[in-house]
Amino acid sequence: MHLRKNPKMPTRLSIDTKAGMVYSTYYGDMATADLVQHIAAIRKHPDFNPDFDELIDASGVRSFDVPSDDVRELASRDSPFHARAKRVLVAPQDLVFGLGRMFQTFGSEQRPHFIVVRTLDEAHRRLARERLPKAQ
């Protein structure tokens, strides 16, 4: 597993190639630019595989300065993950949860397996289900 923490961004990225899992952690004060930079870091990471699943833990977010127009714009962009990848956002805070659900709705065609939950336990249960079959 490889861990990258960018001291300039309130994010942490870890990729477990054996488990086929990307772990994204958001904490502190988040803004749109932080999300854009984190997505770029995933794309550039040498261990990243678009078939991997992703657990996004936003439990430590203190403030989330991401306007709804930005959420809509981010949801319309191409995802670094394949559509069959399971991606779970943990958002116990009401604002982050609501914006996550907005992202889920607007990005549902590209990201049909993106879901938003309130707890890490629920995220682990959702990700523990059988992986979707890979395209041949």
Boundaries of every domain in the chain: 2-128
pLDDT, tens digit (0-9, with 9 covering 90-100), for 94-107: 999 999 999 999 99
pLDDT at 11: 96
**Superfamily for domain range 2-128:** SpoIIaa-like domains (3.40.50.10600)
Alpha carbon 93 to chain centroid, angstroms: 16
Asked if the model's pLDDT at residue 6 lies above 50, the reply is no
